[in-house]
Chain A
């Protein structure tokens, strides 16, 4: 490691330092005897998974809840993020007395494979070379992420999960969990997601990746070795993606055509409008906490996701005779994963006779609504889990 040139910012996520030795995290190491078999046809070993747990595992080991994070999320779901200093990304949902109650459930959340906050990814050190993997890291799929999570669960000695929950890319992992390990999932909560990434969504991701790769500082993915950082490219990618997480109505409500700290347009390309200033801030703060290559890998994983394709094109076969209880939630203004996507999951589950709840929540907050204070979502999650806990024989 001595000859590795680290990024200068000591706290920057995506630096080998955070990618290999994450702060305030538990790390599970898997040696050469425990390789991760990847869909790309290769085996990854050794590798590591960074994770957090909240609450206490009961004696029967029956109260574990796995939270799957979204594209740019991490395992700091319900406690202060050591990289940003901000609250955990789902504290509204997960914590003492919250719908996913850490006084009742043992909550596990791990950084996904390909991530940059402590689980093996392109920013991690390749043990074969002693240098960051960069593009030598194998391409990861949603199923690979879930395989790794299952190995973590084995390591923790937990046979079955009481529930798996997550939104967006996290929701894809929830669906994959239910399809790959039906006997290990008692209840599943896939939110604001789909069983496959649409052409439009792949298109948006491709624009983001091209923005990263067009930045001269990307250096064909070798920026960690060359001491550069494709900040501008990654910021543009984030700005574009962020628009897709909101809605026209929400942007209009928050910003309208208001000008930023000025009374008249400057007749320049400065950030005259509040919405421009907001997006620039979103872009620049994102690059401080995320690795550009990791962004390429994780968007790719979402693009490749097509659950039905693994089952001869028939989605219902993915959930055949599933005993898992499902609660599916979509949001009216989510145009990235519209309600029709969730309805397709419901149809497949009904065709298989599965026990499924499905609610669409009226909101103008767009795709990101699953992360926000939506009282109906919180009430639905609580009701669904309470009822499942009763069926599971968990004490209140």
Chain B
């Protein structure tokens, strides 16, 4: 069982690998040391750097933005410019131990295909995403009557890259439809603390601001 995480308050946290992001730490704890990892949508490469330094992984990345790629490569990471929606097909079966999709699922055009490719390329998939079922988001639509905006999801509806939001409940259904087996799941509240493990799913779906799932293929 994983130990509960404390919110990062260290002033040096921003300079640590992963910039001290709690969701990165949750992901990292799901990865076996020394594993071969592909991070799809790796941004500036901070999660890969964290995994390399704390889990000794053999890490690769794909990133859409040119700035993110160039920053990652300059950090010495094996990152290629590419698109999760079109380029995962190039990777052979079972090429990785883990394929990670960190805060990127909602920005893909075909989330289901992406998930299926992840489980083909990797023995495990790790998916983290913002939960659109969180109570604050529900309240914004219900009482504000406008598309939700939060600190983590600060885009206006008309210029957001996030085109496929889902809730924890939605994602669990997608896992069932794609034949993915849920091995671990973690929900974090707005302060980056874990929700109780024995809480029911409806509780997670209401109070989890982010979720991280470790999946594997159903045999």
Select the stretch in B65-73, B104-112, B208-216 that faces chain A. B65-73
The contact string, 1 if C-beta is below 8 Å from chain A, for chain B 82-121, is 1000010011100100000000000000000000000000
Q: Is the CB of B95 within 8 A of A357?
A: no
Report the bound CA distance from A128 to B53 in whole Å.
61
Chain A stretch 361-396: residues in CB contact (< 8 A) with chain B: 361-362, 376, 379-380, 382-384, 386-388, 390
- Interface residue from A353, A358, A383, A387 paired with B81 (Cβ < 8 Å): A358
- Interface residue from B66, B73, B76 paired with A390 (Cβ < 8 Å): B76
Q: Is the CB of B74 within 8 A of A382?
A: yes
Answer whether residue B60 sits at the interface, using C-beta atoms and an 8 A cutoff.
Answer: yes
Q: Is the CB of A351 within 8 A of B69?
A: no
B39 to A: closest C-beta gap in Å = 13
Q: Is the CB of B81 within 8 A of A360?
A: yes
Report the bound CA distance from A15 to B7 in whole Å.
73
Report the bound CA distance from A382 to B73 in whole Å.
9
- Residues in B whose Cβ lies below 8 Å from that of A147: none
Q: Is the CB of B80 within 8 A of A350?
A: yes
Q: What is the interface of chain B mostly: helix, strand, loop, or mixed?
A: mixed
- Residues in A whose Cβ lies below 8 Å from that of B76: 383-384, 386-388, 390
- Residues in A whose Cβ lies below 8 Å from that of B91: 350-351
Answer whether residue A347 sits at the interface, using C-beta atoms and an 8 A cutoff.
Answer: yes
- Residues in A whose Cβ lies below 8 Å from that of B196: none
Report the bound CA distance from A360 to B72 in whole Å.
12
Report the bound CA distance from A334 to B71 in whole Å.
21
Report the bound CA distance from A216 to B77 in whole Å.
54
- Interface residue from B74, B78, B79, B81 paired with A379 (Cβ < 8 Å): B74
Q: Is the CB of A355 within 8 A of B92?
A: no
Q: Is the CB of B70 within 8 A of A376?
A: yes
- Residues in A whose Cβ lies below 8 Å from that of B80: 346, 350, 356-358
Report the bound CA distance from A386 to B77 in whole Å.
10
Q: Is the CB of A359 within 8 A of B60?
A: no
Q: Is the CB of A359 within 8 A of B78?
A: no
Q: Is the CB of A351 within 8 A of B92?
A: yes
Answer whether residue B184 sits at the interface, using C-beta atoms and an 8 A cutoff.
Answer: no
Q: Is the CB of A353 within 8 A of B95?
A: yes
A363 to B: closest C-beta gap in Å = 11
Answer whether residue A143 sits at the interface, using C-beta atoms and an 8 A cutoff.
Answer: no
Q: Is the CB of B78 within 8 A of A383?
A: no
Q: Which residue of B lies closest to A389 (CB)?
A: B76
Answer whether residue A231 sits at the interface, using C-beta atoms and an 8 A cutoff.
Answer: no
Count of CB-CB pairs between chains A and B under 8 Å? 64
- Interface residue from B66, B75, B95 paired with A383 (Cβ < 8 Å): B75
Task: Assign chain A's interface to a size class.
Answer: 20 to 34
- Interface residue from A347, A350, A351, A362 paired with B66 (Cβ < 8 Å): A362
Report the bound CA distance from A358 to B87 in whole Å.
13
The contact string, 1 if C-beta is below 8 Å from chain B, for chain A 296-327, is 00000000000000000000000000000101
B56 to A: closest C-beta gap in Å = 12
Chain A stretch 77-128: residues in CB contact (< 8 A) with chain B: none
Report the bound CA distance from A233 to B41 in whole Å.
51
Q: Is the CB of B74 within 8 A of A380?
A: yes
- Residues in B whose Cβ lies below 8 Å from that of A353: 92, 95
Report the bound CA distance from A357 to B59 in whole Å.
11
Q: Is the CB of A358 within 8 A of B74?
A: no
The contact string, 1 if C-beta is below 8 Å from chain A, for chain B 173-204, is 00000000000000000000000000000000
Q: Is the CB of A350 within 8 A of B90?
A: yes
Q: Is the CB of A357 within 8 A of B73?
A: yes
Q: Is the CB of B77 within 8 A of A355?
A: no
B38 to A: closest C-beta gap in Å = 9
- Residues in B whose Cβ lies below 8 Å from that of A390: 76
Report the bound CA distance from A355 to B48 in whole Å.
14
B83 to A: closest C-beta gap in Å = 11
B103 to A: closest C-beta gap in Å = 22
Q: Is the CB of A327 within 8 A of B90?
A: no
When A353-B95, A357-B80 are in contact, do A380 and B73 touch as well, CB less than 8 Å?
Answer: yes
Report the bound CA distance from A359 to B81 in whole Å.
6
Report the bound CA distance from A145 to B78 in whole Å.
29
Report the bound CA distance from A173 to B117 in whole Å.
34
Q: Enumerate chain B interface residues (CB-CB to A < 8 A).
A: 58, 60, 66, 69-70, 72-82, 87, 90-92, 95
Q: Enumerate chain A interface residues (CB-CB to B < 8 A).
A: 325, 327, 346-347, 350-351, 353, 355-362, 376, 379-380, 382-384, 386-388, 390
- Known pairs A346-B80, A357-B73, A357-B77 / 4 extra A-B pairs, C-beta < 8 Å: A346-B82, A350-B80, A359-B81, A362-B66
Task: In the A-B complex, list the 3 residue pairs whose CB atoms are closest, starting with the nearest.
Answer: A387-B76, A383-B74, A358-B80
Please list 16 pairs of residues, one from A and one from B, whose beta carbons are closer than 8 Å in the complex, sorted by A's number. Answer: A325-B78, A327-B73, A350-B80, A356-B60, A356-B80, A357-B72, A357-B80, A358-B80, A358-B81, A359-B70, A359-B81, A362-B66, A376-B70, A379-B74, A383-B73, A384-B74
